[in-house]
Amino acid sequence: MVDLSQMCAFVMMRINAFLDHELDEDTADAIRVHLSTCEECFDEVEIWSTIRSAVQHAYSPSKAPPDLIDKVTSRIKAAEEHL
């Protein structure tokens, strides 16, 4: 049987792969079981999940304002006419 500190280290080394759903089902299940009994690892995974969500939200593509789109489109068309 794996002692708690070894399992915690195992989980910590695989947090990103776990959150990205990149682990095989057996490994992911083992981590889920561990997270259900280890508050420290659960908290760490929650922190990483929150950070990843915040970064993803902060850097998600946003739509340009319509007037900017119009200006850029007009300049592209003007440049193409001069070719």
Q: Is the pLDDT of residue 8 over 90?
A: yes
pLDDT digits (tens, 9 = 90+) for 17-63: 999 999 999 999 999 999 999 999 999 999 999 999 999 888 878 78
The region, left, alpha or beta by phi > 0 then psi within -120 to 50, assigned to residue 21 is left
- Who has greater pLDDT, 82 or 3? 82
Where in the sequence is the domain holding 66, given as residue range(s)? 4-81
Domain count, the chain: 1
At 22, phi and psi to the nearest 5?
-100, 0
The CB-side HSE value for 56 (13 A sphere, CA atoms) comes to: 7
Q: Is the pTM of this model over 0.85?
A: no
